Amino acid sequence: MSISGRAKEVVVKWGYRLVRWMVVHLSDRTMAFILRAVERLAYAVTADPGVKAAVDEVADIFESGPPFTTTVRKLFQDDESKTVVSVIKQLTRPSPYGAA
């Protein structure tokens, strides 16, 4: 594995663990606030309404509260960092067909 591949793996693993900790331990209001800030930042950086809409949907879940947030927290209870790292590595590798 190359150095950049190893670095990507470490960043994704720790990033996922941070997000997992936040979802499991922070309150609904705090998560909604953070996600609204991320939504604004993502839109400012990318100017893509699709990115804004995706983060907006997740923020809406935390603003609406239980039972939806209970379901999200149950999904994050188990540490799936190996699966997440594998998915990100596969999604970011170069295509064998020359496509981007």
User: What does the DSSP assignment read for 1-16?
Assistant: --HHHHHHHHHHHHHH
67 upstream amide cis, omega within 30 of 0: yes
pLDDT attached to residue 9: 86
Rounded to whole angstroms, the Cα distance separating 24 from 12 reads 18
pTM value is 0.75
pLDDT above 60 (res 1): no
pLDDT beyond 80 at 99: no
What is the model's pLDDT at position 78?
86
Residues 17 and 80: beta-carbon distance below 8 Å: no
For the four alpha carbons of 26, 28, 33 and 38, in that order, the dihedral sign comes to positive
Write down the pLDDT at residue 100: 58
